[in-house]
Amino acid sequence: MWSPNPIPPNLVAQSDLIRYYLVPPVLRHLRSGMKALFGITVVLLICSCSDQSVAPDVPRWFTDRGLAGKATWDESTGTLRITESVVWGGDDDVESFYFMPPAEVKTIIIAANTTVTGGFRLGHGVALRGEDRNTSVIFGTNTVAWARGPNKMDDSPDCNKATGDDRAADCQKWSYGAISAYMIPVGDTVCVSTLTIRNARTYNITSQYAPIKVDDVLMIERRSEDGRSNCDGFGAGSGSSITNSTIDVTDDAIKLYRDMTVRNVTIIMRRNGAPFQLGWGSEPTSTHTIENVVVKGVDPQSSYNCGLFSWKSSTASTTRTIRVNGLRTEGLENARIWNGNGWVDHPLFELRSAKAELVLIARTVRMRSSAATLPSMVGKLALDVCDTAAIRNAYECGDVTKVTGDD
């Protein structure tokens, strides 16, 4: 679970990386205090040796990332194509696990039958795509609760600073998943398509403000049902979208924080997370579109921690407007939810702040759960669902046989 944190924990490390690659070798030697002539001589000798094993048109980041013999680089188009599986680290490689592509990289392709064990941190608009949705894979870890370190406990009372043996505190986890974007130039967009993300360390695809377009992606987690891994699905900046995709993770599937479109998506709802999370903190007023989405509740005990539309923040004072054209739920009719001190009927609408408002306009839906709201629900519901403003636990209208999700 995550509440926004505008300061990425890895900013210093990334800045050091950028400076390392952008400062020419000559200047690095001169800055070290050598005499100018001696420094130039040393650099020439190094370049002469390097030219024997590395083609002059291969950039330093390419070899440093371990891509020699496992990828191709086309400078004319800015295209990096990873052709063989690569491993960028294990659980203890907290930062080096991630690749922050330099500005000249415009497109990253993961070939079919290729797995990248690592993550991507994007600082500009990049198209990251696979050649085959099922076999072009980004893999994180099989370790449960990776961010909490070996003891699996939350040792970080300050959510912006990892302490104890934690690898990432709660507000930092968004940048320790599979794909994250931060402070990309205005007008840039990140695009992710045609691949699988399996067992992301934490979140699958996230940004705080940058728009991300996701299409034809499978996000899947097969570790544990206890939710300690914080393996959320998708959340990004205003103007983002997710289409033709399936999310099967153990935490929140889609974060409706900033204006977003969700179309042709299947969500597998497991115990811990919400299909649609509206906020844990003070996220802004926003408007969203949901079209042709299927939510399947699959917990064996029909027991969940979140409602269908879940707004966990107890301090929110904003409005979410959601327009739905095609939404179908399965397996929630007899479900229950943990409500602090006991189990109660599972709600379609879970609001926990008196100042929060959910506006829902919906057609062509079959939404069914055990309850409409929590027994102690606060906040305001403004509904126009199947031409009624009534607050109910079940709605059905339109031809729901055409609501197929990612099928």
User: Could you list the pLDDT tens digit for every one of the 407 residues in the chain?
Assistant: 444 444 444 443 443 333 333 343 333 333 444 333 334 333 333 333 333 344 557 899 999 999 999 999 999 999 999 999 999 999 999 999 999 999 999 999 999 999 999 999 999 999 999 999 999 999 999 999 999 999 999 999 999 999 999 999 999 999 999 999 988 999 999 999 999 999 999 999 999 899 999 999 999 999 876 788 999 999 999 999 999 999 999 999 999 999 999 999 999 999 999 999 999 988 999 999 999 999 999 999 999 999 999 999 999 999 999 999 999 999 999 999 999 889 999 999 999 999 999 999 999 999 999 999 999 889 999 999 999 999 999 999 999 999 999 99
Handedness of CA 221, 224, 225, 226 (dihedral sign): negative
Rounded Cα distance, 43 and 66, in Å: 23
Rounded Cα distance, 278 and 313, in Å: 8
Q: What is the pTM of this model?
A: 0.86
Q: What is the pLDDT of residue 369?
A: 98
Residue 253: burial class (beta carbons within 10 Å; 0-12, 13-18, 19+): buried
Q: What is the pLDDT of residue 56?
A: 53
How far apart, in Å, are the Cα atoms of 243 and each of 213, 266, 325? 8, 10, 14
What is the identity of the amino acid at 311?
W
Rounded Cα distance, 152 and 61, in Å: 34
Q: What are phi and psi of 14, to 5 degrees?
A: -65, -40
3-class secondary structure, 62: helix
SS3 content of the chain, % helix, strand, coil (to 5): 15, 35, 50
* Domain spans in the chain, listed from the N-terminal domain onward: 11-53, 55-238, 252-407
Residue in 104, 140, 323, 319 with CA at minimum distance from that of residue 232? 140
Rounded Cα distance, 54 and 67, in Å: 12
